[in-house]
Amino acid sequence: HETIMAGAGKRAEGALRRVLEEETGRFVAVVEGAIPTADGGIHCTIGGRTALDIVREVCPKAAATIAMGACAWDGGFVGADPNPTRAVGVKDAVPGIPVVNMGGCPANAVNMAALLTHYLAFGRMPALDSFGRPLFAHASLIHDQCERRAHFDAGRFVGKWGDAGHAKGWCLYRMGCKGPVATYNCPTVRWNDQTSWPVKGGHGCIACASHRFWD
């Protein structure tokens, strides 16, 4: 990923090439972003090659593959209807390989670190749910971990953005909060070094770590 590597251009491509040739079966592939498949994949190219071509070479040679974020999981925003580039996630771009799906838009850095640490400590990926997401992050409903839950149970709901209930931190269910149907650990791991999470920020959950949430 040239954005986060010290090297760029030929040096970054050279690092990839060296790992593929010398470390086959001994590296973890982390894929970020959707993979366009229309017109031979030409809508995303890196170093003169299509992303489709790259993942199909790299992922089968990896010890494990992680799809990081909503786009790498199921196409995300890029793959939402009408999806003009026919963008897909990793498991559809490279059929047949095992993929761990770290959903979220964006992916959560704490969960990524936990996933990689688990792999390094135990030599295998953690238990997954039916969507291929780690259970440690998806075992519980957001609703069951939410700090506004007491307001839900007591029937205290925000009815309009900026009303008195909103100012008092009441439940956001009537404003469209998806917490009762979405599973994720964002209420506990939070974002930006545990500063906050969407419901604490007063917006309600849009289920960003759920399957095809953009649609």
Contact residues for ligand SF4 (CB under 6 A)? 142-143, 146, 148-149, 152, 171-173, 177, 179-180, 199, 204-205
C-alpha separations of 24 from 65, 90, 94, 101, 127 in Å: 13, 19, 17, 22, 24
> Which of 180, 208, 212, 214 forms a contact with ligand F3S (CB under 6 A)?
208
> Does residue 99 bind ligand F3S (CB under 6 A)?
no
At closest approach, how far in Å is the CB of 157 from ligand F3S? 17
Residue found by looking up tokens 């609703």 in the block:
143
Half-sphere exposure of 156 toward its Cβ, with a 13 Å CA cutoff?
13
Residue 209 Cβ vs ligand F3S, minimum distance, rounded to whole Å? 5
Longest CA–CA span in the chain (Å) reads 62
User: Closest separation between CB of residue 170 and ligand SF4, Å?
Assistant: 8
Q: What are phi and psi of 4, to 5 degrees?
A: -110, 5
CB of 206 to ligand SF4, least distance (A): 11
Burial level of 3, CB count in 10 A (0-12/13-18/19+)? exposed
Show contacts with ligand F3S in window 106-135 (CB under 6 A).
none
Q: Which residues of this protein are in contact with ligand F3S, per CB under 6 A?
A: 142, 182, 184, 186, 197-199, 205-209
